[in-house]
Chains A and B, each alone.
Chain A
Amino acid sequence: MWGIIRQRAACKGNHALNLEQGIRAIALRAFSSSAKQMTVRDALNSALDEEMSADPKVFIMGEEVGEYQGAYKISKGLLDKYGPDRVVDTPITEAGFAGIGVGAAYYGLRPVIEFMTFNFSMQAIDHIINSAAKSNYMSAGQISVPIVFRGPNGAAAGVGAQHSQCYAAWYGAIPGLKVLAPYSSEDARGLLKAAIRDPDPVVFLENELLYGESFPISDEVLDSSFSLPIGKAKIEREGKDVTITAFSKMVGYALQAADILAKEGINAEVINLRTIRPLDRSTINSSVRKTNRLVTVEEGFPQHGVGAEICATVVEDSFEYLDAPVERIAGADVPMPYAANLERMAVPQVEDIVRAAKRACYRSR
């Protein structure tokens, strides 16, 4: 009873307050008032370039990374600049080049291994998990594996079941790995640099559809020493009525949903996870303790997903603060269909997030 009265008061919203929140949100989204724009592709390319320039041990390996300039042009220009010893084109053997990367990392180099899509990483998953993730532990620190496995993850557009799976939950379960999922260009630059400099193995989950998207970027982010901390989520938009967590492409959708919700008087706080493992439990919980409601959003399959973990985390740490059951938005529990209309229904849309937030606020069923 108290819960309903409290939420009615909260969700009614104060328009002036909303405007202030909106402006603060825009300011948060852009690091400063600088008007430079950068695509995620250029952000990743520049990060690779700068880290390769700073440390001769860093090298890139994968299919099409050299002569072809990268399957998605992420490594454009790097072969010309650094030569074939540091930008290595490989035959089509994921198990091979992932294994070679691990071996090279064992011996002290810092490989950046590109999978054309993380769907293909399954052919190399033994090397990622049994070798890269576990070696430091099994050898009691004698073998460290400073490797980065990167590539597009999750759904693209019209590529069907074997090219659309999200691996955040799979890799996020493994002790010994760090798993990152950037959204904006700032995220892409800062997190990739952090990943390359990190002594532990990192799985870096990009998104094909975000490569071409442009984001405002500040001078601080453009500096070659810039990096973002691993394990720290970012509050993209502050709010007080409901917390929405998301990562990668879904952050954009969550922000759009938040705009729609604002018009209906619901003030949503959007958290960009940035890191899947280690999950920033403290930022998520502080937010839920403030808003008392949670909606988790991800593209991947629902069972054993990232949202399931976040829900468990919040139940463990902030149960008394929840005023409503946690709402979990995820991809449909089916292999990704190809037909455009079916694909649209298999992936979360902005309307799904809006509806979930309203359900959490007891504004609809």
Chain B
Amino acid sequence: MYRSMVTLQIMDTIFYEAQRQGRISFYLTSMGEEAINIATAAALTSDDVVLPQYREPGILLWRGFTLEQFTAQLFGTKDGNDKGRQMPIHYGSNQLNYFTVSSPIATQLPQAVGVAYSLKMDNKEACAVAFMGDGCTSEGDFHAGMNFAAVLEAPVIFICRNNGWAISTPISEQFRSDGVVVKGQAYGIRSIRVDGNDTLAVYSAIRTAREMAIREQKPILVEALTYRVGHHSTSDDSTKYRSSNEIEHWRTARNPTTRFRKWVQTNGWWRDEDETELRESIRKHVLNAIQVADKTEKPSLEELFTEVYDRVPPNLREQEKSLRETVKRH
């Protein structure tokens, strides 16, 4: 788990820089939320279907998405498994049971209930897992998803990463309830609040939540308290609405990765040399992946028209033909 947390950190740092250098159009980091990302992934099985919001690439990382695959999606190359259709960080992988990230907030919540309903009808030993942020709980779909999950008795775990900020909106302006855990109770859903920066606590909570959800075929809500160390995304400069001291504090003293490292080292399973070696090798790997992606071709013209429907309809074939002719002429 620790290695993955470090990989996520380094990946985030380098890709963020790449956007700053103009090599990709957009990026969003999960800094400060590495524990939630990796510990939940570790506590689930690969059969559990994940519907992310957008700050959970660690799940994909844990399940085997390679650095090359991440880079291909960010750079929109022909090797991306989304064929360059989605903007950066909107990853998705069928094989890894991770649904493609969708920009509108909270749409994944009722959809997760639908997935859970399918799993229930198939009698599978698995659950649906939907992630959300604190801001997401204000959307109408949050209400829809929670209510339905309770009424339909769907095996879904709702995980709320309460990181204190929704772009520039602090939680005090987002809701006046005592956090998110009480909202779950209002729907008749068993809910728990956990320290999202404590890797072991998150692991333990999700393990148990999963067992309960599948055994009893009922939803669970987990509110993981954490802090969004990075800016909302590369389109944001959070020093404009919060103090750099606050950010520094959570980046250093309260950092979940550092905290877990201390525990792992104290148990004698990790040394400083391992740390340096690991960071070096990951850095090299990420930089290499970027170089490769930079040189890789973008998707071919025909991919503009495929997968709009199951089969390419005649009107799109015509449009493709006329596009090719125009390109040829000019």
What per-residue 1/0 map shows which CB atoms of A262-295 lie under 8 Å from chain B?
A: 0000000000000000100100000000000000
Selected from B90, B111, B140, B141, the residue in CB contact (under 8 A) with A106 is: B111
Selected from A100, A108, A139, A178, the residue in CB contact (under 8 A) with B111 is: A100
Q: What A residues does B147 contact at CB under 8 A?
A: 91, 93, 96
Q: What A residues does B143 contact at CB under 8 A?
A: 93, 96
Report the minimum CB–CB distance from A144 to chain B (whole Å): 6
Q: What B residues does A98 contact at CB under 8 A?
A: 110
How far is B308's CA from A178's CA once the two chains are assembled, in angstroms? 11
Report the minimum CB–CB distance from A18 to chain B (whole Å): 35
Choose, from A64-72, A130-138, A253-261, the stretch at the interface: A130-138
CB atoms of A176 and B111 under 8 A apart:
no
Q: What B residues does A281 contact at CB under 8 A?
A: 315
Choose, from B78-86, B175-183, B241-249, B282-290, the stretch at the interface: B78-86
| A-B contact number at CB 8 A | 147
Q: What A residues does B258 contact at CB under 8 A?
A: none
CB atoms of B310 and A99 under 8 A apart:
no
B203 beta carbon closer than 8 Å to chain A: no
Q: Give the contacts of A184-204 with B (CB-CB under 8 A).
A: 198-200
Choose, from B58-66, B98-106, B207-215, the stretch at the interface: B98-106
B121 beta carbon closer than 8 Å to chain A: yes
How far is B81's CA from A135's CA once the two chains are assembled, in angstroms? 14
Selected from A111, A131, A140, the residue in CB contact (under 8 A) with B83 is: A140
Q: Give the contacts of A121-162 with B (CB-CB under 8 A).
A: 126-127, 130-131, 135-144
CB atoms of B104 and A106 under 8 A apart:
no
CB atoms of A136 and B310 under 8 A apart:
yes
Q: What B residues does A101 contact at CB under 8 A?
A: 114
CB atoms of B114 and A104 under 8 A apart:
yes
Selected from B49, B85, B94, B315, the residue in CB contact (under 8 A) with A278 is: B315
A278 touching B313 in the complex, CB below 8 Å, given contacts A126-B107, A130-B104: yes
A140 touching B111 in the complex, CB below 8 Å, given contacts A88-B152, A99-B144, A278-B315: no
Q: Give the contacts of A32-75 with B (CB-CB under 8 A).
A: none
A95 beta carbon closer than 8 Å to chain B: yes
Residue of B nearest to A176 (CB): B308
How far is B151's CA from A90's CA once the two chains are assembled, in angstroms? 9
Report the minimum CB–CB distance from A166 to chain B (whole Å): 23
A93 touching B144 in the complex, CB below 8 Å, given contacts A103-B51, A103-B113: yes
Binding site for A on B (CB under 8 A): 49, 51, 80-83, 85-86, 90, 92-94, 99-100, 102-104, 107-119, 121, 128, 140-141, 143-145, 147-148, 151-152, 303, 306-310, 313-315
13 A-B Cβ contacts within 8 A? A95-B140, A96-B110, A96-B145, A99-B107, A135-B102, A136-B308, A137-B307, A138-B85, A138-B86, A142-B92, A142-B93, A143-B99, A278-B313
Closest 7 CB pairs of A and B: A103-B114, A99-B110, A96-B144, A103-B111, A104-B114, A100-B114, A140-B83
Binding site for B on A (CB under 8 A): 85, 88, 90-91, 93, 95-109, 111, 126-127, 130-131, 135-144, 175-176, 178, 198-200, 231, 278, 281
* With A93-B110, A103-B114, A143-B94 already in contact, 18 other A-B pairs whose C-beta atoms are closer than 8 Å: A93-B148, A96-B143, A96-B148, A98-B110, A100-B152, A104-B118, A105-B114, A109-B118, A127-B110, A130-B102, A135-B102, A138-B85, A138-B86, A139-B82, A141-B306, A142-B81, A142-B92, A176-B308
